Structure 1
């Protein structure tokens, strides 16, 4: 999966953006998960100005950005969560 994403992306910046696009295209949202023991809804995925991929989590009117690398996934995970697993492998150095 990693090679499928980064085949035409050169450098870490382009590769991160390529993963972001895969999340946008394949990750079923919204979905519920727990962050620090509190149920939240992941509304969308965003790319920050410093090129971090974050999940926009909400609970009521409160919103919080959680790095996708730190986001706990529910069981069962949402459709497309395998792309998050691939990104975590890539970010962990399995490039």
Structure 2
């Protein structure tokens, strides 16, 4: 999976973009999880200007961006969660 996400990448920034693309394509959103004991909906994944892949979490009208590697995944995990683990392995 790492090789698939990073094919034709020449630096770390391009690799992060490759993983972001795989997460955007394969991670089934929205899904529910709990962050610090609060139930949230992961609405989408996003890529910040400093090359951090984040989960955009929603609760009511509030939004919070959480680095995808810090996001606790629910049990069972959503489809495509294996890409989070592949990214974790690469990092």
Moved over 3 A (4+): none
Distance 2:41 2:47 in 1: 18
Instruction: Specify the alignment match of 2:39 in structure 1.
Output: 39
5+ residue gaps, structure 1, are none
Distance 1:16 1:41 in 2: 23
Q: Across the two proteins, how many residue pairs are aligned to each other? A: 91
Q: CA deviation at 1:8?
A: 1.1
Q: TM-score, normalised by structure 1?
A: 0.94
5+ residue gaps, structure 2, are none
Pairwise CA RMSD of aligned residues?
A: 0.5
Distance 2:60 2:82 in 1: 28
Output aligned runs, 1:50-89, within 5 Å. 50-89=50-89
Q: TM-score, normalised by structure 2?
A: 0.98
